[in-house]
Amino acid sequence: MLKLLLAFAVAAFAAIPAGAKVASETPNQALADLQKAAQVEELPAVAAEVAAEPVAERFWIKVQAASREDRTAIATAGMAIEEEGSDQVAGTAHIKTIEKLQALGFKVTYRMSLQKLLKDFPSQDKVYHNYDRMKAALDALVSAAPDMVSLFSIGKGWQGRDIWAVRFNTTESGTAPSKKPGAFIVGNHHAREHLSVEMPIKIAEYLAAHRADPAVRKLLETRDIYIVPMLNPDGAEYDISTGRYQMHRKNMRINPDKEIGVDLNRNCDSFFGGAGSSGDTYSDVYHGPSAFSEPETMALKNFLDARINIKTINSFHSYSGLIMYPWGGKEGAVENAADLKAFQAMAGAMAKLAGLKAQQSNVMYVATGDCMDWAYAAHHMYAFTTELNGGSFYPGAAEIDKETPGEIKAALYMIEYSDDPRRAAADLTAAN
Ligand SMILES: [Zn+2]
C-alpha cells in the first residue's frame, strides 16, 4: 500500500473509506485506457511530476463568484462545485475547464492537482462498505428477516456490477408489485461520496434490527420500502480501486475520446443538457450524450417507472449539509402550491431531525438533468436530495456514527408520510 501524505490547506481530508482490496480480479480496462491517455497529454505546470494517474489533469480549484448567476455559469462551464462561500466557490475541474473559466473572465484564485490528494486507506476506515461488503450487508438483512426483506438487482453499471435494491415489505417480495405507499432511499449517484452509501445501509439495518418495535413494525406493515445504497457501483469501486483515492465523481462510461464518465445526476431527463451541466466529456458534470444514456440512470428510471406507488425519495450525497427539493434545474419554486408546502414541511422536519439545512435545490445554482427533479416531474414523487455533513468526501469513520442517528429519524419520518406527503404540511399547520 502506498502512503501518500496529504497537505491540503482548505479542508481536512481526514480519511479514506472502504476496504483495502478491490473485488474485481479482471484488469480494469477503463483505468488502463485512462492512464494511457494521461501519459500522452501534456501536464500542467502545477502537476509537473510525471504521473500516470487519471487525476493528473484534474484540480481542486477556487473561483471568485459573487452571485448565483456566476455560480450557475461556472457550473455550466463544467466545474463541479462542492463548496460555496459568499464570494467564491471551490470544487473540482479539469484543466480544460479551468481554461474555459478563465476565458469567460472568471478568476481562478487557487488550484491544486488532485494528485496531491491521493491517500492511502487507513485501517480505521475499513468500516466503510466497498461493493462486496455492501452486497454482503444486504444479504445479511435477507437472512435475518426473510419474511419481510428481499433483494434484487435493478440493473447493471457499465462494467457489469449489479445495482442492488433491498426491499422491506411484509406481504410482497422481490419485484412483485405492491399497492402500499412506497418510499425509496438511494445513495451514491456520485462515486466519491462514500458516506452516501453508508446511510442507506444504516437505515436498512435499523429497520431490520427494530422490526419488532411497534412503531417500526407499523411502518413495515403499511409501506413498501426500497433501499439502493450504491447506484454507481463501478464508480465507487474505481474510486478506491488502486489503494489510492481517485476523487472520482462520475460513472465509468468510456467516452469516444477516452475521457471517463458521465455525471449521473446531470443525465436524467429533466431540462437535460442545460445550465449547471457540461457537454465536455472531461468535465465532472458531463451530462452524457443524451438523457438516460447511462445504464445506471436507465436502471433508476425503469425502477421508478414500474413503481409509481413510490411517493417519497431521499437521494443521498455529500457533503454540503443540506436537504433540498425541486426545482434544481430551473428557476423558481414548484408551481403547485400544495406540493411546495409539502416539500417545505417535509424538508424542514427532516432537516431538523438530521442536523441539516433545508432549501430549494436551485438556491445555490441551477443544475439540469437532476434525477430528483425528473422523479417529481415524471411521477409526482416527493423527491429530496440530502447532502450529508462531513466537510469532505472522505470524512473518516467517525462521521458515519455522527450522521446515522439523525438520518434514521429523517428516514422514519419520510417513510411515515409516504402515504400522503401533503399530510406533512397539514400536520405542521395543526401543530403551530
Ligand atoms: Zn453528489
Quote the DSSP letter at residue 42: P
Residue 243: strand, helix, or coil: coil
pLDDT at 158 > cutoff 50: yes
Per-residue pLDDT tens digits for 43-80: 222 222 223 345 668 888 999 999 999 999 999 999 99
Residue 365 Cα to ligand 1 midpoint, Å, equals: 14
Share of the chain above pLDDT 90, in %: 76
Helix (DSSP H) and strand (DSSP E) numbers for the chain: 12, 12
For 258, the grid coordinates are 477516452
Per-residue pLDDT tens digits for 255-303: 999 999 999 999 999 999 999 999 999 999 999 999 999 999 999 999 9
pLDDT at 35 > cutoff 50: no
Residue 290 Cα to ligand 1 midpoint, Å, equals: 20
Residue 388 Cα to ligand 1 midpoint, Å, equals: 10
Residue 242 Cα to ligand 1 midpoint, Å, equals: 22
pTM for the whole structure:
0.80
Res 58: pLDDT:
86
pLDDT at 9 > cutoff 50: no
Domains for the chain: give ranges and CATH numbers. 29-123 (3.30.70.980), 124-431 (3.40.630.10)
With bands split at pLDDT 50, 70 and 90, how would you rate the model's confidence at 375? very high
Q: What are residue 245's DSSP bridge partners? A: none
CA–CA separation, 225 and 204 (whole Å): 9
Q: What are residue 183's DSSP bridge partners? A: 225, 312
For 394, the grid coordinates are 472522505
- Cβ proximity of 119 and 16 under 8 Å: yes
**Cα-based distances in Å from 387 to 206, 314, 377, 390, 391:** 20, 10, 21, 10, 11
Neighbours of 67 (CB within 10 A): 10
Place of cell 488502486: 242
With bands split at pLDDT 50, 70 and 90, how would you rate the model's confidence at 112? confident
Res 240: pLDDT:
86
- Cβ proximity of 278 and 286 under 8 Å: yes
pLDDT at 345 > cutoff 90: yes
Per-residue pLDDT tens digits for 236-264: 989 987 766 789 999 999 999 999 999 99
pLDDT at 114 > cutoff 80: no
Q: What are residue 386's DSSP bridge partners? A: 316, 323
Per annotation, catalytic residue among 387, 399, 403, 407: 387
Q: What are residue 312's DSSP bridge partners? A: 183, 382
With bands split at pLDDT 50, 70 and 90, how would you rate the model's confidence at 117? low
For ion ligand 1, residues whose CB falls within 5 Å: 190, 193, 317
Residue 318 Cα to ligand 1 midpoint, Å, equals: 6
Average pLDDT, rounded, for the chain: 87
Q: Which of 319, 38, 28, 350 is nearest to 196 (CA)?
A: 319
Residue 205 Cα to ligand 1 midpoint, Å, equals: 23
* 294: annotated active-site residue: no
pLDDT, mean of residues 199-226: 98
Say how many CA atoms lie within 13 Å of 238 toward its Cβ: 30
Q: Which of 80, 65, 181, 64 is nearest to 393 (CA)?
A: 80
CA–CA separation, 325 and 305 (whole Å): 20
Residue 369 Cα to ligand 1 midpoint, Å, equals: 13
Res 121: pLDDT:
42
pLDDT, mean of residues 381-400: 95
For 270, the grid coordinates are 429533466
Buried b (16+ CB within 10 A) or exposed e, 249-259: bbbbbbbeeeb
With bands split at pLDDT 50, 70 and 90, how would you rate the model's confidence at 11? very low
Lowest mean pLDDT among 35-44, 192-201, 343-352: 35-44
Rg (CA), the chain: 21
312 or 114: which carries more pLDDT confidence? Answer: 312
CA–CA separation, 136 and 431 (whole Å): 43
Residue 193 Cα to ligand 1 midpoint, Å, equals: 6
Residue 218 Cα to ligand 1 midpoint, Å, equals: 32
